[in-house]
Amino acid sequence: KGSLVVVGSGIKTVGHLTQEALAWIKGADKVLYVVTDPVAEGVIQRLNPEKAESLAVFYEEGKLRRETYEKMVERMIECVHAGLRTCAVYYGHPGVFAYPTHTAIRRLRKQGYEAFMLPGISAEDCLFAELGVDPGSPGCQSYEATTFVTAGFVPNPKAVLILWQVGVFGHMDYSRTHYELREIPLFVEYLSRFYSPDHEVCVYESAIFPGCKPRADWVPIRDLTKVQLTPASTLYVPASERPTPDLELCKRLGMAVR
Ligand code: SAM
């Protein structure tokens, strides 16, 4: 009977692929992958040369990403229905901003198939390490940039804010080359409701190849319209206010407050 295991290749595939993920890729009857760089693709192809197939073929210029994701889900399910022990490899953590993997697992489980996911190293994990950010101190909020604005999420300026997909802000379609980011002023306007336009934020891109340095460009919010944002950019917004303890609650918890 077919089954599905979903693994992550990390951001820097050479180094981030876990031993467990490697074993699943090697032992699979079918490997379906979505990675963003040729090194990662080469690694996967070498691990299981006869059986590796890229799902990136479903990306088409101008096509809604949602439609592409459905095709990916269908292909994963089709392989499992064909009786193959299928391993899907997605870059980063395979369950972080990855609709197809969660959906395929949910649908297959409903049909009685074994389907599960292993964690991987996400862009956010790299950010914590490379920008020296501890999500536990003071706290961390993480949103998809377009949803953050359109859903009207209100950030708490006492905690760190991480905004994913800022380089495809306002776009639901796919582009192989680049996205026209005409809507970034609207994004800046929205952020400026909660932070001073002078507040410094960081456009972050973790290096995908060993030995390379990450991109970490600090700019005031007002200048986000002037920097280059790419599909690999994640925006880090440090807290702008200090958290102040609620003394009454601290007392009730028996905590000593200085
Ligand atoms: N599954 C991926 C993960 O675990 O990191 C996330 C995929 S999501 C569709 C794409 C977004 O992830 C990008 O728009 C960006 O916010 C972030 N991202 C991907 N690669 C990155 C990198 N090298 N450095 C920083 N952020 C990255």
| 59, 65, 99, 143: the active-site residue | 65
CA pair distance 62, 184, nearest whole angstrom: 19
pLDDT of residue 180 exceeding 80: no
Write the residue with the smallest CA distance to atom 2 of ligand 1.
92
CB of residue 208 inside a 6 A radius of ligand 1: yes
State the closest ligand 1 atom to the C-alpha of 125, by its place in the atom list counted from 1.
5
3-state SS of 238-252 is CCCCCCCCCHHHHHH
What is the distance in A from the centroid of ligand 1 to the CA of 81? Answer: 30
First to last CA, the chain: 62
Q: What is the pLDDT of residue 175?
A: 67
CA pair distance 201, 166, nearest whole angstrom: 12
Residue 20 has which token pair? Answer: 């467990």
Range of weakest confidence among 46-55, 172-181, 227-236 = 172-181
pLDDT band at 64 (very low <50, low <70, confident <90, very high): confident
Q: What is the pLDDT of residue 258?
A: 65
Q: What is the mean pLDDT of the chain?
A: 94
* β-strand partners of 114: 3
Residue 10 burial (CB count, 10 A): 26
pLDDT of residue 9 exceeding 70: yes
Residue 160 burial (CB count, 10 A): 23
DSSP state letter for 168: G
| 90, 91, 195, 204: the active-site residue | 91
Write the residue with the smallest CA distance to atom 20 of ligand 1.
232
* Averaged pLDDT, 152-179: 87
In the annotation, is 215 catalytic? no
CB of residue 236 inside a 6 A radius of ligand 1: no
Tell me what ipTM this predicted complex has: 0.99
CA pair distance 228, 179, nearest whole angstrom: 11
Query: Residues 71-109, buried b or exposed e (16+ Cβ, 10 A)?
Result: bbbebbbebbeeebbbbbbbbbbbbbebebbebbbebbe
What percent of the chain has pLDDT above 70?
Answer: 97
Q: Considering the entire predicted model, what is its pTM?
A: 0.94
